[in-house]
């Protein structure tokens, strides 16, 4: 017959402490504002919704409403994140190469994030970083010799031309996924043009629409820059191209 082992009076407390230290299975991941914004950018602006972002994070979509009251607020935050993360051109001593570099950078931003242009156009008043980048651009242009008001106009013309390039590639409210799809949507117009105008004009449309979309955009930007150069008012010193 074995002797009973005396029970340890501290054992129940030790077992309870051990159980408390065991992490719960299936605990929801810890998320915050920045993680939600990063997830929104990863999901993409074409598919962005509260439910899609929640699925990406592995949480209930109601969790997102603790940080963002509605989809528009999350869209604005995601757009601001993208704008802030871009490598914007450094100041130049001359306004023309700076605006040209600005157009290229803005083009790359919209190209890398399909659907962003559509949301920028819709959320223009709520995009803090987009507005700040425009203001910083104007400040650089003033340093090159442009009148402050004309500097605001110049950067707005260039930014809006790039934005319009991507907005023009819409079909039933859906953004094109890349520049080639944008070009393809434009080529559909050729069938409506050929029989409506003289041959040389139709041929010109064919060359333009059949070429690289970036090349046509660059030509538009150069025309805008020529217009700026022809109408720029001096601000106490000669503006430098």
Query: For the chain, which domains are there?
Result: 30-85 (1.10.10), 86-230 (1.10.357.10)
pLDDT over 80 (residue 100): yes
* The predicted structure's pLDDT at residue 192: 75
Integer angstrom CA distances of residue 92 from 7, 63, 75, 102, 217 = 82, 45, 32, 11, 22
pLDDT digits over 122-142, tens only? 876 678 999 999 999 999 999
Counting residues of the chain whose pLDDT is more than 90, the rounded percentage is 54
Residues 6+ apart with CB under 8 A from 216: 208
Mean pLDDT of the chain: 83
* The predicted structure's pLDDT at residue 14: 53
CB 98 within 8 A of CB 151: no
Instruction: Return the sign of the alpha-carbon dihedral for residues 109, 214, 223, 195.
Output: negative
pTM of the predicted structure, to 2 decimals: 0.77
Q: Measure the CA–CA gap between 184 and 124, rounded to whole angstroms.
A: 27
Instruction: Give the three-class secondary structure for 25.
Output: coil
Q: Measure the CA–CA gap between 105 and 217, rounded to whole angstroms.
A: 13
* The predicted structure's pLDDT at residue 235: 45
pLDDT digits over 37-92, tens only? 999 999 999 889 999 999 999 999 899 999 999 999 999 999 999 999 999 999 99
Integer angstrom CA distances of residue 8 from 5, 13, 180 = 9, 10, 76
Q: Where are the alpha helices (DSSP H) in the chain?
A: 11-21, 33-43, 50-57, 61-64, 71-85, 95-112, 116-122, 128-143, 148-167, 179-187, 190-193, 199-210, 213-231
pLDDT digits over 186-223, tens only? 667 777 777 788 888 888 888 887 778 788 899 999 99
């Amino acid at each position: 017959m074995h002797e009973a082992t005396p029970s340890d009076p501290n054992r129940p407390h030790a077992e309870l402490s051990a159980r408390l230290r065991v992490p719960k299975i299936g605990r929801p991941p810890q998320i915050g504002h920045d993680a939600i914004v990063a997830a929104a950018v990863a999901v993409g602006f074409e598919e962005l919704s509260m439910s899609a972002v929640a699925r990406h994070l592995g949480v209930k979509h109601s969790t997102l409403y603790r940080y963002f009251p509605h989809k528009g607020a999350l869209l604005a935050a995601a757009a601001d994140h993208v704008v802030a993360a871009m490598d914007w051109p450094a100041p130049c001593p001359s306004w023309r190469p700076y605006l040209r570099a600005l157009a290229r950078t803005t083009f790359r931003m919209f190209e890398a994030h399909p659907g962003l242009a559509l949301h920028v156009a819709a959320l223009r008043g709520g995009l803090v970083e987009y507005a700040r980048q425009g203001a910083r651009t104007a400040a650089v242009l003033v340093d090159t010799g442009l009148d402050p008001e004309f500097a605001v106009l110049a950067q707005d013309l260039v930014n809006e031309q790039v934005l319009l390039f991507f907005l023009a590639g819409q079909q039933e409210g859906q953004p094109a996924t890349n520049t080639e799809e944008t070009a393809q949507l434009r080529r559909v117009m050729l069938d409506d043009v050929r029989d409506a105008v003289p041959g040389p004009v139709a041929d010109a449309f064919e060359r333009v629409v059949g070429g690289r979309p970036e090349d046509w955009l660059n030509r538009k930007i150069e025309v805008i820059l020529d217009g700026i150069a022809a109408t720029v008012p001096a601000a106490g010193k000669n503006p430098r191209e």
